[in-house]
Structure 1
Amino acid sequence: MDKPVKISVHVNEDEWLAFKNYVLSKYGCLWKYLGEELSKAIKLYLSQVADAHTRK
């Protein structure tokens, strides 16, 4: 497992609440899973951006 890093960012409130609600509905709590799901979302985004970028 990669070493986790602590981050601090500003995001749109509505999107953040929707993301937290998604994690809460999937796992029943936010502890531990919020960071894991955020990491998955970042990896998914990067894979899609990299794929789109290389198709140009």
Structure 2
Amino acid sequence: RDLAVTTKATLRLTSTMASHADAVEVEVRAQAESVRSEEFRARLAELQLKITNRS
């Protein structure tokens, strides 16, 4: 849910920007923040476990 809210907010913010570079900067910062989140770490760990168990 948090990811969807953040994504929508980022899209609203960047859709009115005249500068592509500014929009990219906003998006990169949002993605970096997402990767640092606890939810991301938990989902990544689940995925890694699934991949490991396939072998």
Q: TM class, shorter-chain normalised? A: 0.3 to 0.5
Q: Which has the larger radius of gyration?
A: 2
TM-score normalised by L of structure 2: 0.40
Which of the pair is proportionally richer in helix?
Answer: 2
TM-score normalised by L of structure 1: 0.39
